[in-house]
Amino acid sequence: MKYDNKPTVSDRLREEAFDFKLLEQAKNYALDYMGNILNQPVFPGQEALQRLHAFIEPLQDGPSNPYDILENLHLNGSPCTVAQTGGRYFGFVNGGIVPVALAAKWLSDSWDQNAGLYVISPIASVLEDVCEKWLVDLLHLPSETAAGFVGGSSTATLCGLAAGRNYLLEQQGYDVAKKGLFGAPEIRVILGEGAHSTVYKALSILGLGSERLLKIPADNQGRILTEAVPELDNRTLLILQAGNVNTGAFDDFSALCRKAKDAGCWIHVDGAFGLWAAASQELGYLVRDVDLADSWSVDGHKTLNTPYDQGIILCRKRDALTQALHMTGSYIIYSNHRDGMLYTPDMSRRARSVELWATLKSLGKKGVSELVEDLHHKAVYFAERLAENGFTIHNKVWFNQVLASLEHSELTGKMLSLIQSSKECWCGGAKWGNHSVIRISVCSYRTTYGDIDRSVNTFIEAREKVLGDTPQQI
């Protein structure tokens, strides 16, 4: 091969790696964004959205100036973000970012660690091990529980159900890892009719389908009717909920988990945002006996307010989890320390444990409890303010979710559109029973009671506009 001295793209990148002014510029843009987030429209307006056209272009042949790239992102990208790190975003269950976690993320991004193996990143391995122990203690789970750190509770649910499926088949003398599902003994999957869509997605990926599932009716809060659950056995995968996605309600773990444990079921709990109730002295009653389950999925980027993406799979049976997710290769160097790839579907992944560790270290047990309770209290306040102003509230505020509406679904839909277009606050819509409802999720530590009052005023103004524009016969 012929070598010459012609400059290459690698040469240019090596020079840019020591251009710390570029990073300083990124920091200034980030600080500018954070300094103005409370005044930014919660959802970008049409004028801002037009700026997105600046990114729609063919890829050029040659390199671009890095300062121009950053400037483009800030000037045209920042105004087109949703201000979910402000105080008036109540759409999806999206938390804010604990300040030290953001700072830790900046630092760990410069590390750019692969958390797959100890030999690739000792710091990621140690922090995963520490976070596992802290989470087990904080959530009052069995001491032997293992944790895997994934992108979100959708993936965490997939991991937990994979471990449960394989474990149940193993109890019947069938090794699904070797034989696949061809000719496998049948197992039952039982879940509530209010189960989250990500549960159905995970079951589909795992080959457990949708038509063969046994869906148990739910009450008017979305909780499984315990008396409707059939006889259970050791061929059953039972899926429960800690926090219904609409009402925030919790299944009766005391009744269901005890019954399932006696029958030899595998119990998975979808606790994406609600499992954090276990860390609260005030709200812990909601998850009484949830520790009897076998696996739990939870997000840090919701209730705990870590940065995205921070999903966690927790599994009582460590071997069942690692066997479901295990991989081999002659080049893979396992150690006597924690090797993170054993607990997740990914080998290469970022070191999420850094921000999680920083968040938990910043808050401590008392701080996590107070954060969870503060979100609950503000959700209750939001519901009370709406109710006293004539809106219908469809749920008891169990945790941090509120469902509100006007008398007619059509009017509710129109009102929601006005609320969203106001840029004052942002909420999502849903169907609950026969009603179109506005779904309010109080998830960010940045939300104040003043933010809620301001948002309630937006609801009132939108209702007045709708009723003023609507013929009375509706």
Summarised one tens digit per residue, pLDDT across range 126-146 is 999 999 999 999 999 999 999
Helix (H) / strand (E) containing 393: strand 392-393
pLDDT at 469 over 80: no
CA–CA gap between residue 317 and residue 108 (Å, rounded) = 31
Mean pLDDT of 147-171: 97
CA–CA gap between residue 158 and residue 150 (Å, rounded) = 11
Mean pLDDT of 450-456: 97
CA–CA gap between residue 229 and residue 244 (Å, rounded) = 18
- For residue 147, what are its two tokens? 């944790």
Instruction: List the single range of 86-100, 153-167, 286-300, 347-361 with lowest mean pLDDT.
Output: 86-100
Contact (CB, 8 A) for 305 and 96: yes
Q: What confidence score (pLDDT) does residue 54 get?
A: 95
Q: 173 — alpha (psi -120 to 50), left (phi > 0) or beta?
A: left
* Domain locations along the chain: 18-82, 102-360, 365-469
pLDDT at 248 over 80: yes
Of 421, 302, 350, residue with least CA distance to 109: 350
Please state which CATH number belongs to domain 365-469.
3.90.1150.10
CA–CA gap between residue 59 and residue 37 (Å, rounded) = 31
pTM of the model: 0.94
Which ranges in 330-394 belong to alpha helices (H)? Answer: 353-388
Mean pLDDT for all residues in the chain: 94
**Biggest alpha carbon distance in the chain?**
84
The residues near 314 (Cβ < 8 Å, ≥ 6 apart) are 135, 136, 139, 141, 145, 146, 147, 160, 295, 296, 297, 298
Of 93, 95, 76, 75, residue with least CA distance to 85: 95
pLDDT at 474 over 50: no
Quick check: helix, strand or coil at residue 220?
coil
Helix (H) / strand (E) containing 190: strand 188-192
Tell me the CATH number of domain 102-360, given options 3.40.50.720, 3.50.50.60, 3.40.640.10, 3.30.420.40. Answer: 3.40.640.10
Is 447 buried (19+), middle (13-18) or exposed (0-12) by CB count in 10 A? buried
Q: What confidence score (pLDDT) does residue 94 get?
A: 87
Q: What confidence score (pLDDT) does residue 151 get?
A: 95
